[in-house]
Amino acid sequence: MEKFNLRVFRYDPTRDEEPTYKIYTLPVEKGMTILAALFKVKEEQDPSLSFRYNCRAAICGSCAVRINGHAKLACKEQVTKLLEQFETDTLTVEPAGNIKVLKDLIFDMDWVIEKMKKVKPWFIPKEPPPADGTEYRQSPEEHARIDYASDCILCASCMSDCNALSVNEEFLGPLVLSKAYRFAADSRDGAKRERLEAVLDKFNLEWCVRCWECTTRCPKEVQPYENIIRLRIMAAEEGYKTPGEIHAEVFEKDILNRGLLNEMLLPFKQEGLVGGLKRAPFGIRMFFKGKVNIADFFGGHTIPRIEEVQTIYEKVEEKKKDINIRIPQILGLVYEDKRKSKKKESSQNGGEQ
Amino acid sequence: MAELKYAFYTGCSAKGVAPELYDSTMLVAEKLGMELIELEAATCCGAGAVQEKDEFLALTINARNLALAEELGLDMLTICNTCTVMLRESKFKLDNDPELRKAVNEVLKEAGLEYKGTIEVTHFLWEVIDGVGLDRLREMVVRPLKEFKIASFYGCHIIRPPYLIGYEDPDNPKSMEMVIEACGGTPVEHEARLACCGFHSFWSAEDEVTLRLTAKDTEAAKEQQADFMVTPCPLCHTQLDAMQPEAEERIGVNIGMPVLHLPQMIGLALGIEPKKLGLHKHIIPTTDIIKKLAA
């Protein structure tokens, strides 16, 4: 391919009623990034195009845009690779999603900063610094809990593609919750409960739908989704009774007592008798479609070998205080499915097994 | 051809509110020559709920589930996206952290089990493509779905996160469209193809998030005039089908978009009767689909 189309979102709220898309045709150059392509448009075809950038090396987080629907850093993405990935000759560049557009590809970062203030994204020391005049200390293990979370460059890629934010702007969002985790999990920090209370206001922390989009989009291995889960674990450990905590207890007990979740009794266990009864219209609808197993209202089926599960619960309880689950490195990692590679090898050797 | 034999992990939904998924999976697997040995002693995967309260417990429970498949010496086949990602997450942690694996195995030993890491966790969708093969599926289609516009709905946990799933490009996956085409149907492009159904925040943000997503997703398929949506995940199915009336009521819209489980769609193309596939068990009526098929 010698040329490709850059289809760019254009909008100037001071002049335009509606956003439009303009198509710029550019030569395909080896190593050209989307940011370089935007510069080429600005220099050679349309000086009115506005976009944000600074370091050009995926460090500053200024140039997050959406490319063919997904948030990416413009400076980190190569045109040739994208054309191949999407099997196309046209790449669509839009501003990050879920955030108000100021002009063209520039979005309102102040909105993100205002949200962030709610979790006090700064260090609040637990105690005065060491008397000998040295700095606050933490062990390598303590630092490992916040190592990846500290790498956030505030690019807002995660906010752009967050499913919960796409339907409710009141959600704090992955960037903010991940930032709250970074400080709440810091061994030197003294405001853990204060931060947890900020994210648990209206159970905001539990508005996250577990879609894992934020971790998939993050260009810096911050693992926002995993940090949200770690925050929820911290909240459970601190004794907060949230809907998520009650939900987890229902699952824990059902696994222990029968193996599988009892979906018929879940609404009652989750919301109490009155709450569960409010779901009656839904339940009746499900019943008439043959989706309700009446036996489950009386306990229902228990899996074979349940005693193994009961032993595991006992032993886990004894052991878990000594367990430190380390946070894995995930950047650029594609989980190797040995079954598939086995299959590939065999097909290279003639296909028969 | 390699033997298509799997340790079958049903998950809770196929044994609970989605019996039609269990039935259609068994029927279609048999037709496609897949042998499913059900792991009757398997527990729930924790569904992300246990994982956010007690990570070590969730991990150990899933190590047991994986060990059950290892006893059979077979790869584990799932029919639920969330089961897939939770089991693969446990496997990822166990395979990449020897100390953790040792601790988990010390617990499992007390129950007479051991996690060895010898099997893989796969999904029905992937095995239809890689195991059965699309050419073979195409040959077996007796009732091509040629008059249907079909909107795929992947569901998050079969594409994200790539470090746990890694089956295909999460930005531009194709597997669902490939199967739709093999069944003779026409895939429709729609905005919610890779979106989230909202299921996992139901109990904490039903009005704030969940039902809004459910309405948005089903409306996106409707906008493109899809005859139905199809999903490889029973949780997406419950959310998009069973909860669609709630979404319509709360958001104040009228949608009426039928949603099929992946094996149901394949089953129709293989000529299996709609009733045997449980199409009458859906909340959003599938009568128009059945009528079109009979015409």
Query: With contacts defined as CB-CB under 8 Å, which chain B residues touch A334?
Result: 162-163, 166
pLDDT at A349 over 50: no
Query: How many Å is the Cα radius of gyration of chain B?
Result: 19
Q: Do B44 and A259 touch (CB under 8 A)?
A: yes
Beta strands in chain A (DSSP E): 3-10, 20-27, 64-67, 70-73, 90-95, 101-103, 106-107
Which 288-307 residues of chain A touch chain B by CB within 8 A?
Answer: 289-293, 296, 301, 303-305, 307
Multiple choice CATH, B142-294, 3.40.50.11540, 3.40.50.11810, 3.20.20.70, 3.90.1150.200:
3.40.50.11810
- Distance of CA A158 to CAs A166, A214, B144, B208, B226, Å? 11, 4, 40, 19, 30
Q: Do B107 and A312 touch (CB under 8 A)?
A: yes
Percent of chain A at pLDDT above 70?
A: 95
Which 220-279 residues of chain A touch chain B by CB within 8 A?
Answer: 225, 229, 232-233, 236, 242-252, 254-255, 259-264, 270-271
Residue among A167, A176, A60, A162 at smallest CA distance from A114: A176
What mean pLDDT comes out for the span A298-310?
96
pLDDT in tens, B246-261: 999 998 999 999 999 9
Query: Which domains, and CATH codes, for chain A?
Result: 3-107 (3.10.20.30), 109-129+138-237 (1.10.1060.10)
pLDDT in tens, B146-170: 999 999 999 999 999 999 999 999 9
CB-closest option in B42, B60, B119 to A312 = B60
Q: Which residues contact B103 (CB under 8 A, 6 or more apart)?
A: A319, A322, A323, B56
Percent of chain A at pLDDT above 90?
A: 90
Instruction: State whether ipTM is beyond 0.90.
Output: yes
Residue B186, H or E segment: strand B186-187
Q: Do A210 and B165 touch (CB under 8 A)?
A: no
Percent of chain B at pLDDT above 70?
A: 99
Residue A186, H or E segment: none
Residue A179: pLDDT band (50, 70, 90) is very high
CATH number for the region B5-122 comes to 1.20.1050.140
Query: With contacts defined as CB-CB under 8 Å, which chain B residues touch A341?
Result: none
Query: What was the pLDDT predicted at A332?
Result: 74
Query: What was the pLDDT predicted at A331?
Result: 79
What mean pLDDT comes out for the span B219-224?
98
Mean pLDDT of chain B: 97
CB-closest option in A216, A292, A303 to B160 = A216
Query: What was the pLDDT predicted at A353?
Result: 33
- Distance between CA atoms of residues B92 and B120, nearest Å: 11
Q: Do A211 and B282 touch (CB under 8 A)?
A: no
- Distance of CA B168 to CAs A162, A309, B159, Å? 20, 34, 7
- Distance between CA atoms of residues B63 and A53, nearest Å: 46
pLDDT in tens, A310-341: 999 999 999 998 898 989 888 777 776 666 65
What mean pLDDT comes out for the span A84-96?
97
Q: Do A260 and B49 touch (CB under 8 A)?
A: no
Query: What was the pLDDT predicted at A313?
Result: 98
pLDDT in tens, A189-245: 999 999 999 999 999 999 999 999 999 999 999 999 999 999 999 999 999 999 999
Q: Retrieve residue A168's tokens.
A: 């409710």
Q: Do A259 and B166 touch (CB under 8 A)?
A: no
DSSP type of residue B131: I
Residue A350: pLDDT band (50, 70, 90) is very low
Q: Do A248 and B49 touch (CB under 8 A)?
A: yes
DSSP type of residue B133: I
Q: Which residue of A has its CA nearest to B208?
A: A168
Instruction: Specify the domain boundaries for CATH 1.20.1050.140 within chain B.
Output: 5-122
Nearest-Cα distance to chain B for A287, in Å, is: 10
What mean pLDDT comes out for the span A74-85?
97
Instruction: Specify the domain boundaries for CATH 3.40.50.11810 within chain B.
Output: 142-294
- Distance between CA atoms of residues B231 and B222, nearest Å: 15
Query: What was the pLDDT predicted at A338?
Result: 64
pLDDT in tens, B16-69: 999 999 999 999 999 999 999 999 999 999 999 999 999 999 999 999 999 999
